Structure 1
Amino acid sequence: AQAFAIPWLVAMRMVQWLAPFFAYHFLTGDPGDSMVRAVLLSAGAFVVLTLAEFGVAIIGKWLLSGRLKAGRYPLWGMTYFRWWLS
């Protein structure tokens, strides 16, 4: 299950860095484009995606683990996977 989850986690993390790059690249291709506008929108995309990543992590924790109680759980069981993923 972890092998299937890791590519999605890596992709979520990469979007946070690639979206600002592509936003800047898209907004600076023509001679009349504003570099200040491109930098501001690129930085804005980074901030928005960083906040969205925190939101996904917090919501995902509550959806996956809920109110997980202290106890003894099998190391490679479903409870361990839910804890690891959240």
Structure 2
Amino acid sequence: MREETSVRLADHIVFQELPFCGVLLDTRRFTVHRLSRRAGHVLRTALDPGAPGPYAPLLPDGDEETAEGLRRQLLDRLEASGMVHRVPAGKVPGEHG
């Protein structure tokens, strides 16, 4: 069983999941970053584990190993760019510290 990684958005980042993509808005640099549908889904589930996805039925079922690889790669890249912060186990995702 894999462990879900929770993250929170940086204070200057706004995320919206749309039916055809995910969008990250960096309000500090005034830039927009488009994510694929699957990457948007991965980010939403990391931000709010267990919440039903509004567009999940549109996503094709995929290979679990590939999905986990995408999840790790996406969260690592977003964390490296300062767009998200990992939430330590036992902390509430909205809690700063």
- TM-score if structure 2 supplies the norm length? 0.28
Instruction: Pick the structure with more helix per residue.
Output: 1
The structure with more radius of gyration: 1
Taking CA–CA contacts closer than 8 Å with sequence separation of 6 or more, which of the two structures ends up with the larger relative contact order?
2
Instruction: Pick the structure with more strand per residue.
Output: 2
- TM-score if structure 1 supplies the norm length? 0.30
